[in-house]
Amino acid sequence: MTSLRNCETVWYPEIRRFCPTTPIVLVGCQNDLRSLVKDENYIRLCEERWPMVRCDCTWYFRRRGTVRGLYYETVAVGRSIERCGKANIVAELRVREADLVMPDQARRVALLLNCPYYETSVLTMYGVADVCENAIRAALSHKKQSRFWMTNLKRIQRPLPQEPFRPPKPTLPAPVTIPSSYPQDLASLLENQRHTDLIFLVGHVGFCAHRFFLIATWPKMIPMLAPEFACHLSYQTGSRRVSDASIRSSFGDIASSSVFLDLAGPDTECLLPPSETCTPEPSPRRRPRERRRSCHSFSCLSQFLQPSHPNHCVQSAFQFVKQEKCEGLDAQGKPTSGLQTLVGIHSDVPPASFALVLQFVYTGEIKSTITDVKGLQEHVHLFDIPELTSYLNNLISGSEEARTRNDEISRRWRQRIASQLDDIYLRNDICARTDLCGRSGGPLLTDTTFELEGGALRHAHRAMLMSRCDVLKAMFQHTDFRESSAKLVTLPGVSDTAFSVLLYYLYTDSIPILAPSEAIPIVELANRFCLPRLVSLVELEVIQQLNHCSIIKAGYHAIVMLEPAQMYNAEQLVEWCFVYIISHYTDICRQYHKEIKLLHPETQRQLNTNRWPPVWYLKDYDHYELLVLEREREDKPLRKRKRSGCLCLKRQSSFR
User: Cβ distance 424 to 436 under 8 Å?
Assistant: no
Q: 3-state class of 190 per DSSP?
A: helix
Bridge partners, 342 (sequence order): 199, 322
Give the chain's end-to-end CA distance (angstroms, integer).
43
Tell me what the mean pLDDT of segment 332-343 comes to.
77
Bridge partners, 201 (sequence order): 206, 344
pLDDT at res. 294: 35
pLDDT at res. 333: 63
pLDDT at res. 3: 86
Q: State how far the Cα of 348 lies from the Cα of 380, in Å rounded to an integer.
A: 11
User: Cβ distance 214 to 198 under 8 Å?
Assistant: yes
Reported residue count of the chain is 656
User: Cβ distance 318 to 270 under 8 Å?
Assistant: no
Interior/surface letters 375-402, b for 16+ CB within 10 angstroms, e for the rest:
ebbebbebbbbebbeebbebbeeeeeeb
Tell me what the mean pLDDT of segment 200-221 comes to.
89
What is the helix (H) or strand (E) element at residue 543, kind and residue range? Answer: helix 532-547
Which of these ranges, 210-219, 268-277, 380-389, has the smallest mean pLDDT? 268-277
Q: State how far the Cα of 84 lies from the Cα of 305, in Å rounded to an integer.
A: 77
Under the banding of pLDDT at 50, 70 and 90, the label for residue 80 is: very low
Q: State how far the Cα of 343 lies from the Cα of 319, in Å rounded to an integer.
A: 7
Instruction: Please give the domain boundaries of the chain with CATH numbers for all domains.
Output: 2-153 (3.40.50), 182-428 (3.30.710.10), 438-609 (3.30.710.10)
Write out 29-81 in H/E/C secondary structure: CCCCHHHHCCCHHHHHHHHHCHHHCCCCCHHHCCCCCCCCHHHHHHHHHHHHH
User: Cβ distance 217 to 420 under 8 Å?
Assistant: yes
Cα 557–Cα 559–Cα 562 angle in degrees, nearest 5:
100
User: Cβ distance 608 to 596 under 8 Å?
Assistant: no
| Contacts with 527 (C-beta within 8 Å, 6 or more apart), sequence order | 535, 568, 569, 570
The pTM (predicted TM-score) of the whole model is: 0.75
Tell me what the mean pLDDT of segment 543-553 comes to.
95
What own/partner pairs with CB < 8 Å and gap ≥ 24 does 564-568 have?
564/520, 564/523, 564/524, 565/520, 565/523, 568/520, 568/523, 568/524, 568/526, 568/527, 568/535
151/555: higher pLDDT: 555
- pLDDT above 60 (res 442): no
What is the helix (H) or strand (E) element at residue 277, kind and residue range? Answer: none
- pLDDT above 90 (res 41): no
pLDDT in tens, 123-147: 889 999 999 999 999 988 888 877 7
pLDDT at res. 480: 81
| Contacts with 456 (C-beta within 8 Å, 6 or more apart), sequence order | 496
Tell me what the mean pLDDT of segment 66-72 comes to.
37
CB atoms within 10 A of CB 313: 16
Burial class from Cβ neighbours inside 10 Å (0-12, 13-18, 19+) for residue 459 reads buried
> Cα-Cα-Cα-Cα dihedral of 391, 395, 400, 402, to 10°?
-30
Q: State how far the Cα of 55 lies from the Cα of 358, in Å rounded to an integer.
A: 63
What is the helix (H) or strand (E) element at residue 186, kind and residue range? Answer: helix 182-192
Q: What proportion of the chain, given as a percentage, has pLDDT over 70?
A: 72
DSSP string for 281-327: ---TTS-HHHHHHHHHHHHHHTTT---SSTT-PPPPSEEEEEEEEEE
* Mean pLDDT value across the chain: 77
pLDDT in tens, 304-313: 333 333 333 3
Q: Give the best-scoring range by mean pLDDT among 108-117, 145-154, 250-259, 281-290.
A: 108-117
